[in-house]
Structure 1
Amino acid sequence: MSFWSEHLVIAPILIPLVVGAILVLLDEKRRVAKSMISVLSTLALLVVAVQIMRYVSAVHAPGASVTAVYMLGNWPAPFGIVLVADRLSAMMLVLTALLALASLIFSLARWHKAGPHFHTLFQLLLMGLNGAFLTGDLFNLFVFFEVMLAASYGLLLHGSGPARVKAGLHYIAVNLAAALLFLIGVSLIYGITGTLNMADLAARIPELPHENRILLEAGCAVLGVAFLVKAGMWPLNFWLPPAYTAAAAPVAAIFAVMSKLGVYVIMRLSLLLFGDQAQESAGFGFDVLLYGGMITMAFGAVGVVASQALGRLAGYSVLVSSGTMLAAVGWGSTGVTAGALFYMVSSTLTIAAFFLLIELVERGQDAGANVLAVTMEAYGDADEEEEDDEVGVAMPGTLAALGICFGMCGILLAGLPPLSGFIAKFAMMSSMFNPAGLGSDLAIRPSAWWLVALIILSGLSALIAMTRAGIRTFWASIEGTVPRVLVMEMAPVILLLFLTVMLTLEGGSVMAYLEETARNLHVPQSYMNDVMSAQPIKPQEGGQP
């Protein structure tokens, strides 16, 4: 590892931190300069994230991958703060950078001018997200979690309006309560184990006496509730659809990966702390995740079908996605985890594109159009018996482009072939019905039938809802007006959907990466060894490292 490669791990945190500080100093009237700096910073984040992914994907021995460990202050774990980049965190960095770039470009058309300090808050949000993905200890996870939340409060309220203020106040109250639970859980864990380093914690859990194990599991349960609130598991998800619906389009798009932060932490800690190596505590909480995720999927599917507004439809789609991921984590097998990771990438890109698309589609509609459309469906149109001399109506090019993107979002959310949503769901279901290939139980688990049924039914609900919304919007629109769409608004939507197409075309190589990621998660010994064995850099003669 070269000198610059050693310090590359901290770059996803430092870049948005420094840029955010610089943007605060610039006057709000210098919007062009602030926009250019913000976009260049996000591009740099994407380049750095790709380089980190390339490094951790390198294989130096058969079956062995690299875990990059960065020791802040040159203090080794568990005494010092460490940043850890492995396959999973690198993947999340790339995904976050892609969503950030698309959301930021979309915002330059109008939304970044709707309130002060948009670009600063956006960069600080990225800093919090990247730090949470990279941190190797629970305390700094809390620190980055709070940085992310503080920035998200301002972004959710960006643009003002009664709906945003109401949703924002609920969002702030819920997340402050989750932060309190976070501190309580971390305090219990530290009081029992004497460490907050994740790798060190995983090594100490098997050695705990039985009388201390109950308190540890209680602390982990409290900590888990804090992140299940963020992930949106039922019944802790009442705040999510209203908040995501009220947020500005580019903010809702980047929020799509924020809900996955909760899933990421649950996956990371569950498999690291309570895997097979945890002995008495092995599998702790897995059943809660499995059945809670299934209930969340069912709740989200009902919400998707019941939603008349596109924003709420997208919000409930986030719940379906999170529920599927949580159930996959609770399933506890390598094959299902690999398919779930593929699904997480595909669904996050899709939902982000959908949030951006909703802004463009609804731009030419009246606020009461959906209500009127529902009324006409229920009671009929008084003039429906009248003859219409016009045989057909040509669809303008803008509506055609929006309609194609809308159709792709529908296919991806429903999990229909040939796009990446189908590949992800098929990979999960195939692993559930082929347990012999996993080297574990030979019999198919009874819960597999329920989970597969929910995966299929949630996809069917998305198909019904998206078809109904598409007909109202593009085929039988009441107003018939064509929204004015700029290229910089359409390009991010096309970019995100193009990435899902690339996931489909490169499905084999992507699945190979994710299968190795899943194996490393389920057998975390290499992660633990790499973190605990990392040595401080010794200065050479002349004072140069």
Structure 2
Amino acid sequence: MPIAAHLPILPVLLPLAGAAIIMLFDERRRALKAGLSVAATLLLLAVAVALLLQADAGGGTTSVYRLGDWPAPFGIVLVADRLSALMVLLTSLLGLATLLFSLARWHGAGAHFHTLFQVLLMGLNGAFLTGDLFNLFVFFEVMLAASFGLLLHGSGPARIRAGLHYIAINLVASMLFLLGVSLVYGVTGTLNMADLATRLPLIAPGDRTLLEAGAALLGIAFLIKAGMWPLCFWLPQAYSVASAPVAAVFVITSKVAIYVILRLFLLLFGPGGGAPGFGSAVLLAGGLATIGFGAIGVLASQGLGRIASFSTIVSSGTLLAAIGLATPGVTAGALFYLVSSSLAICAFFLLIELVERGREPGADMLAVTAEAFGEEENEATHESEEVGIAIPAVTALLGIGFVTCAILIAGLPPLSGFVAKFAMMTAALDPAGLGAGQRVRLAAWGLLGLLLASGFAALLAMVRTGIRIFWAPHEGASVQRVRVIEFLPVTGLISLCVLMTIAGEPVMAYMRAAADAAHRPAAYIDAVMRPAASVSEARP
């Protein structure tokens, strides 16, 4: 078997091996552990790039890795196509950026940071690449276990309180996940995703209700993790009190649920599935409600951490609504938006600590709100310890980064956030590409209005906060002290968004190809269900 055939399993093995090796060394050897973690993540990024190129080669390739060479549906399979390879690459980029940022000080704020970080990457990549529901549950739990430890990293009462809520909510989601998987297996006799797609049309009418109940339980479990309203009450508090690199990498954990919903919805309940359109109305209505709730939360938030958290909710709502519309054009725009918003919000979470460093807690609140709440509240995410050196131009650089993040999150031209929203709106208003004269769905107009409203809300919130930070600084503010290793990841993430804007057409072409393949999953099913003795790749 050629080396390229082993690429699908490397994004799981590399972080696992990295975590195991790092565990061999004592916490006092922190520099060595950090070096090993960075090396493992750099290798992961290289593998992710190779996997993406392999998936895009020859008009699209679906690579299937059969552990133990057991054929589906009896064995464990990992599947890498354009969509899953894109998510693995995004995970690697965000992971590397947040890891480098943490090296300034956060990796030393508690024990086993690098081990937990690598385990988190392993769980994320496994969830994106797995081809069956049971192993999706396993990787989902691995990811959650690591995220529990990372959320508590740095200690403090606020993190402990939010961590307990986070653990309780996600344990409920895991229980619903397990119940849903059990119901689906009881009805169909399989948990392989491709095999499920072939068996779904053959389900007896009397068993269809039980199958749909299992699918609904799975959907609720994923929607909790995705942060759909009203199941998103846990997210703002958890993300806003986590340390900066942890909150930043958590941006991709919410996208795991989005990916799974997109994959299963189109594979099982798409136009050619056994129950076409099942759940689409819930995704659409819930996504629209989530956008509205997130926009209100962004406007109501006084702290930058909560603005970023509610922006994550807006991002999830936009993606869920786009999935509910169930058209390839909207899905392509949504994939572009997923990458752009993830990079921008991750950069914003990292930038928040640099912007607020040296400022008194609550200094960014409106005067009336600060007067009402006083100055007793002490955010756990801000430390009094000075890090780095004072650079005269650092305020200007941070201001430029803040403005760029505001433009990206609000979706203003000319950056990638605008390109993504424009692509979604164009496809939603003209799903068949027929131009003027066709009837537009009311839901498409609703999505259009909420995208504009949420962007305007983000712009108002960012301008309001930016004025208080950079234009009218608080009396207690001091010159920020920033290290190069902290500012470099922020610059890199923003630069990737700029590159997505410059190379908009090639990137969008990839997104269109990934969306088309997801909406027509015949190649995916054929590649997975093909006998193990035959070739392990399929092209549509």
Please, what TM-score do these two structures have when normalized by structure 1? Answer: 0.93
Query: Is 1:257 aligned to 2:258, yes or no?
Result: no
Partner AA of 2:510 in structure 1: Y
Using the alignment, how far apart are the partners of 1:206 and 1:368 within structure 2?
57
Tell me how far 1:3 sits from its aligned partner. 1.4
Distance 1:376 1:177 in 2: 36
2:513 is the alignment partner of 1:519: no
Q: Is the 8 A contact 2:314 2:454 kept in 1?
A: yes
Unaligned 5+ residue runs, structure 2? 373-390, 536-540
Residue 152 (structure 1) shift? 0.3
Report deviation, 1:536.
3.9
C-alpha distance 518-29 of structure 1, shift in aligned 2 (>3 A): same
Note if contact 1:138-1:196 (Cα within 8 Å) is conserved in structure 2.
yes
SS of the equivalent of 1:402 reads helix
- The 5 A counterparts of 1:467-506 are 467-479=463-475, 480-506=477-503
1:466 alignment partner in structure 2 = 462
Which shifted more, 428-437 or 469-478? 428-437
Give CA-to-partner distance per residue, 1:329-368, whole Å, 9 cap, x none. 0000000000000000000000000000001111121013
What is the aligned residue count?
515
Residue 29 of structure 2 corresponds to which residue in structure 1?
30
Cα shift readout 1:79-105 (whole Å, capped 9, x = no counterpart): 111000000000000000000000000
CA deviation map 1:424-452 (0-9, x unaligned): 0000000111123179x942111111110
Corresponding residue SS for 1:308: coil
The residue number in structure 2 matching 1:125 is 120
- Which position in structure 1 is the counterpart of 2:381? none
> Who is 1:327 aligned against?
321
1:210, distance to aligned residue in structure 2 (A): 1.1
Deviating more after overlay: 3-12 vs 455-464: 3-12
SS at match of 1:369: coil
2:119 is the counterpart of 1:162: no
- CA gap of 1:445–1:158, structure 2 versus 1, over 3 A, is same
- Provide the rounded CA distance (Å) in 2 between the counterparts of 1:291 and 1:137: 28
Is residue 399 from structure 1 mapped to residue 370 from structure 2 by the alignment? no
Q: How does 1:164-179 map to 2 (within 5 A)?
A: 164-179=159-174
- Distance between the aligned counterparts of 1:464 and 1:68, measured in 2? 45
Alignment root-mean-square deviation, CA: 1.6
**Do 2:251 and 2:345's aligned partners in 1 also have CA atoms closer than 8 Å?**
yes
Paired residues for 1:268-417 under 5 Å: 268-279=263-274, 281-371=275-365, 373-375=367-369, 396-417=392-413
Kindly provide the amino acid, as one letter, of the partner of residue 224 in structure 1: G
Question: How big is the shift at 1:377?
Answer: 9.8
Letter in 2 for 1:152: S
Q: Deviations over 1:395-425 (max 9, x none)?
A: 9411100000000000001100000000000
**CA 305–290 in structure 1, closer or farther in 2 if over 3 Å, else same:** same
- Deviations 1:126-173, CA, capped at 9 Å, x for gaps: 000000000000000000000000000000000000100000000000
Most deviating of 131-140 and 362-371: 362-371
Q: Distance in 2 between matches of 1:107 and 1:54?
A: 29
SS of 1:69's partner is: strand
| Aligned mates of 1:534, 1:251 — CA distance in 2 | 42
CA distance in structure 1 between the partners assigned to 2:162 and 2:118 by the alignment? 22
Residue 277 of structure 1 deviates from its aligned partner by 1.0
Name the TM-score, length of structure 2 as normaliser: 0.93
Q: Which amino acid aligns with 1:320?
A: V
Instruction: Tell me: CA distance 1:366–1:74, structure 2 relative to 1, closer, same or farther (3 Å).
Output: same
Corresponding residue number in structure 2 for 1:224? 219
Residue 369 (structure 1) shift: 1.6
Contact 2:302 2:366 in 1 (8 A): no
Task: Report if aligned partners of 2:362, 2:370 keep a CA contact under 8 Å in 1.
Answer: no
Q: Conserved in 2, the CA contact under 8 Å of 1:74 and 1:537?
A: no
1:149 and 2:144 equivalent? yes
Quick one: distance in 2 between partners of 1:105 and 1:418?
A: 28
Contact 2:55 2:80 survives alignment (8 Å): yes
Distance 1:424 1:534 in 2: 39
Which position in structure 2 is the counterpart of 1:241?
236
Which of 113, 132, 136 is the equivalent residue of 2:131?
136
Give 2:198's aligned residue: 203
Q: Residue 333 of structure 1 contacts residue 438 of structure 1 at CA under 8 Å; is this kept in 2?
A: no
**Percent of matched pairs sharing the same residue:** 62
Give the partner amino acid of 2:467: I
Runs of 4+ in 1 over 2 A off after TM superposition: 370-378
Which has the greater radius of gyration?
A: 1
Aligned to 1:6: 5
The residue identity in structure 2 corresponding to 1:48 is V
Alpha-carbon displacement from aligned partner over 1:196-250 (angstroms, at most 9, x marks no partner): 0000001111111211111111100000100000000001000000000011000
Tell me the distance in 1 between the aligned counterparts of 2:439 and 2:81. 33
Structure 1 residue 451 and structure 2 residue 447: aligned?
Answer: yes
Cα distance in 1 for residues equivalent to 2:232 and 2:531: 39
